[in-house]
């Protein structure tokens, strides 16, 4: 059976006045575009789920751009992605994307960063989901590969919680003490760069992995007003490809003495030399 790749994509525009947070204009659209790109180009087919969610006329889930996301909804979505209850299988690759408000608060004398939800109630000490709890979910997960991209303020705090026993790709829009910048009705700086870097049509090899994505972000965002942070495992995680989806089950990529051809089939298992061959030409 083919391994499952799952993505949970969150984009929150709606923050009522009682949250004390300003409504956003592009977070939901950012999440929607990330989900679309993963479904179109995922190296393996992603089962992408979105919040806040609505249904189109065909019964398919899509982002509700004016919808609310509550604390319990977000907590369950994260837990079900990284640590689904029995008998549900854990995905081999689990990807979490969040675009919305992040804030730093002192709770019980300890400074904590939260992914803010639509029902946050500061007067009652309700702020959203702590990044420390998300870090625990990453560490506990049986997924072979975990990917987390956070486009929100103070998100660099996530890099305190790098998992020790699996491949990972953690990318945050800001440092842990830094607020993000929103240009109304424009994509977030990080999401804009993620979408360009993940698009395999922009790559000579047509395959994007976590290391390539990191290099792209670093090259494209050196002078922006907010600084992204990146933590990648030594072993790269394959993310997207422009080639057709196929299963390599029962197929060995090691060709022994057989030569590689210029077919798409061979390109999917032998790639990454475009820059070097370009220098030789």
User: Has residue 142 got a pLDDT over 90?
Assistant: yes
Tokens of 103: 């804030």
User: Has residue 269 got a pLDDT over 80?
Assistant: no
Q: Which residue has the higher pLDDT, 234 or 185?
A: 234
Q: How far, in Å, CA of 117 to CA of 136, rounded?
A: 19
pLDDT at 49: 93
Q: Which residue has the higher pLDDT, 255 or 68?
A: 68
Kindly write down the DSSP assignment for every residue of 121-145, as one continuous string. Answer: EGGGTEEEEEHHHHHHHHHH---SE
pLDDT at 265: 58
| pLDDT tens profile 207-266 | 999 999 999 999 998 777 788 999 999 999 999 999 986 544 445 555 556 665 656 556
pLDDT, mean over the chain: 88
At residue 10, the 3 state secondary structure works out as strand
pLDDT at 155: 96
Q: Which residue has the higher pLDDT, 28 or 189?
A: 28
CB 229 within 8 A of CB 207: no
pTM: 0.86
| pLDDT tens profile 72-100 | 999 999 999 999 999 999 999 999 999 99
pLDDT at 271: 55
DSSP 8-class letter at 69 = -
């Amino acid at each position: 059976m083919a391994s499952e790749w799952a993505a949970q994509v969150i984009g929150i525009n709606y923050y009522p006045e009682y949250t004390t947070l300003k409504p956003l204009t592009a977070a939901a659209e950012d999440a929607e575009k990330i989900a679309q790109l993963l479904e179109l180009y995922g190296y393996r087919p992603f089962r992408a789920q979105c919040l806040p969610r609505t249904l189109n006329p065909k019964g398919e889930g899509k982002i509700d751009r004016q919808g609310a996301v509550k604390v319990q909804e977000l907590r369950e979505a994260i837990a079900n992605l990284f640590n689904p209850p029995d008998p549900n299988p854990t995905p081999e690759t689990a990807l979490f994307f969040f675009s919305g408000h992040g804030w730093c608060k002192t709770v019980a004398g300890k400074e904590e960063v939260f992914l803010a939800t639509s029902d946050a109630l500061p007067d009652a000490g309700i702020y959203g989901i702590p990044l420390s709890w998300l870090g625990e979910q990453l560490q506990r997960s049986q997924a072979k590969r975990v990917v987390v991209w956070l486009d929100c303020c103070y998100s660099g705090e996530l890099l305190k919680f790098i998992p020790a026993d699996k491949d990972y790709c953690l990318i945050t829009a800001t440092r842990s003490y830094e607020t993000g910048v929103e240009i109304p009705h424009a994509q977030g700086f990080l999401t804009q760069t993620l979408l360009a870097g993940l698009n395999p049509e922009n790559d000579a090899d047509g395959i994007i992995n976590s290391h390539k994505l990191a290099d792209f972000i670093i090259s494209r965002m050196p002078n922006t007003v907010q600084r992204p942070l990146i933590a990648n495992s030594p072993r790269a995680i394959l993310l997207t490809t422009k080639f057709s989806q196929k299963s390599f089950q029962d197929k060995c990529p090691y060709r022994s003495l057989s030569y590689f051809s210029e077919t798409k089939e061979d390109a999917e298992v032998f790639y990454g030399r475009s820059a070097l061959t370009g220098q030789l030409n």
